[in-house]
Amino acid sequence: MIHINNLAFSYGKNEVLRNISMDLEPGKIYGLLGENGVGKTTLLTLLCGLKKTQTGTIETDGRDPWKREPALLQDQYYLPDEVAPINDKAYGWAKASGKFWPNFRLDTFEKILGEFEVNPTQKMNAMSAGQLKKTYIAFALACGTRFLYLDEPTNGLDIPSKAQFRSALMKYTAEDSTIIISTHQVRDLENIIDPIIILDRRDVLLNASIEKISEKLFFDYGTTLRPEALYSEQLPGGFIQVLPNTEKADSKVNIEALFNTVHMHKDLVKNLFNHE
């Protein structure tokens, strides 16, 4: 379990996070969404201990990530958006680097690379951007950690590779893992991320499960514009519209429409989800 309590962080006078509080539970794949500059990457680096909290606390299984205790380090992995083209073959690099994670399995790394159609004997600095990204993703999954932080993992992947990533994430992570994925590519991940966290500048606008979202909001895919809609967007053959779910009807959550709705009606949505 990860507990975040009154977290705040600034770069000089630029306040990025303010009074962020939430619990991140095991067995869930969180989608961390937000516009550029709202602190998504900052939050991930605070969670894995690469940055020190300035105000407030983070506790991961009762430990402060900044203290970099081996017991926690060996059970977490952070994959940044940009990855380094190492002058080494993928197999050799993984074999040497995996020693820092007790649950790392070299055979799993090779198996995932096979599914990704990446040659483990190829030098990483000779790979394409997509091959390199898939190599790092394979390593992250093969580490077998309970806490996995992924920053824009589908950037640089082509359409088949995105499907391979989704499949591998579901297949090679443990049921009790806490996975946090920061992304702008919500369509790449909308079938696997749940709950959804939407950050604003210095605030958490939403932190809710798909079940809770569909309980509070109704996503209409009809052909008639509804004047009471909080958000509407024209699609081929009709509209996607988001409304308060006053009739408690079932609907399929559209994460892009959800994101736009939340940003257009910040206070209304926060009150809607905070009111029980």
Of 180, 205, 230, the domain-final residue: 205
**Is residue 105 domain-shared with residue 65, that is, in the same domain?**
yes
Q: Are 182 and 224 members of one domain?
A: no
- How much is the pLDDT for 190? 85
Domain boundary (170, 190, 205) is at 205
64 and 96 both lie in a single domain: yes
**What are 41-89's pLDDT values in tens digits?**
999 999 999 999 999 999 999 999 999 999 999 999 999 999 999 999 9
Q: Is the pLDDT of residue 201 over 80?
A: no
Which of these ranges, 94-98, 141-145, 187-191, has the smallest mean pLDDT? 187-191
User: pLDDT band for position 276 (50/70/90)?
Assistant: low
Q: Are residue 176 and residue 258 in the same domain, yes or no?
A: no
The answer on pLDDT for 202 being more than 80 is no
What does the pLDDT look like over 235-260, one tens digit per residue? Answer: 888 999 999 999 999 999 999 999 99
Percent of the chain at pLDDT > 70 equals: 99
Residues 40 and 175 in one domain: yes
Same domain, 168 and 184: yes
pLDDT digits (tens, 9 = 90+) for 109-168: 999 999 999 999 999 999 999 999 999 999 999 999 999 999 999 998 999 999 999 999
Residues 95 and 150 in one domain: yes
Of 189, 205, 221, the position where a domain reaches its end is 205
Residue 19 pLDDT grade (very low, low, confident, very high; cuts 50, 70, 90) = confident
Q: Indicate whether 107 and 60 sit together in one domain.
A: yes
Res 186: pLDDT: 87
Tell me which residue range forms the domain holding 67. Answer: 2-205
DSSP the chain: -EEEEEEEEEETTEEEEEEEEEEE-TTEEEEEE--TTSSHHHHHHHHTTSS--SEEEEEETTB-GGG--HHHHTTEEEE-SS----SSBHHHHHHHHGGGSTT--HHHHHHHHHHHT--TTSBGGGS-HHHHHHHHHHHHHHT--SEEEEESTTTT--HHHHHHHHHHHHHHS-TT-EEEEE-S-HHHHTTT-BSEEEEETTEEEEEE-HHHHHHHEEEE--SS--TT-SEEEEETTEEEEEEE-TT-------HHHHHHHHHHSHHHHHHHHH--
Q: How many domains does the chain have?
A: 2
Taking residue 139's Cβ as centre, other Cβ atoms within 10 Å add up to 24
Rounded to two decimals, the pTM is: 0.94
Same-domain status, 163 and 146: yes
| pLDDT (0 to 100) of residue 82 | 94
Together in a domain, 200 and 175: yes
My answer on whether 194 and 222 are in the same domain is: no
Do 23 and 48 belong to one domain? yes
What is the spatial distance between Cα 148 and Cα 212, in angstroms, rounded to a whole number? 24
Average pLDDT, the chain: 94
pLDDT at 275 over 80: no
